[in-house]
Amino acid sequence: MPRHHIKVAAVVASAVLMATGPAAYAAAATHAPNSQVRHAATKAPQDSGSEEIRAQFDLWQAALATGDPERVADRYAPDAVLVPTMSNRIRTDRDGIVDYFKHFLAQKPEARITRSVVRVLDENSAVDTGTYRFTLTDENGSERTVDARYTFVYEKKAGNWLMINHHSSAMPEG
């Protein structure tokens, strides 16, 4: 199984086990054959590395503030997947990510996290899931907000944290 599939499986397994309760989660973690699942199960949001992962959002937000879609795309791995908030099209390469941000940045987005749950899976991978609020400004200067949920999956490549998967969707309830 490819490494990234193992990591995604570990995240999904951890989420399912957490939903069944702490005792089941801890029991599965100590008996899991995959060390990545065991490691993910023992990490709490406040554990080592969480702040480093949360800081990645600030770097992404700073890239948005430049208005340069290339700079934003630099925050993503070359083979990253972006499931964006304001488009129905999934982007699976740098060109697609740049194209999305060309249009999105025209709205002068400013994002603020309203809730974040970080899971550090190992020294080279982490997940930040939560909610954020975008303030968007149209060409007439009118502002609107969009509340959305997000999942950022990070992988450390050549010493830098890059997004390998970014899913964002508008909140379904008003």
Using the predicted structure, report yes or no on whether residue 57 has a pLDDT greater than 70.
Answer: yes
Structure tokens at 160: 């830098």
Structure tokens at 18: 């957490």
> pTM for this one?
0.72
Q: What angle do CA 31, 36, 37 make, to 5 degrees?
A: 45
Tens-digit pLDDT profile for residues 66-119: 999 999 999 999 999 999 999 999 999 999 999 999 999 999 999 999 999 999
| Residue 159 DSSP one-character state | T
CA distance 27 to 7: 20
Check if the beta carbon of residue 36 is closer than 8 Å to that of residue 62: no
Buried b (16+ CB within 10 A) or exposed e, 55-80: ebbeebbebbeeeebebbbbbbbeeb
Tens-digit pLDDT profile for residues 120-162: 999 999 999 999 999 999 999 999 999 999 999 999 999 999 9
For residue 145, give the H/E element and its range: strand 143-157
> Residue 9's pLDDT is what?
42
> Residue 77's pLDDT is what?
98
CA distance 78 to 94: 6
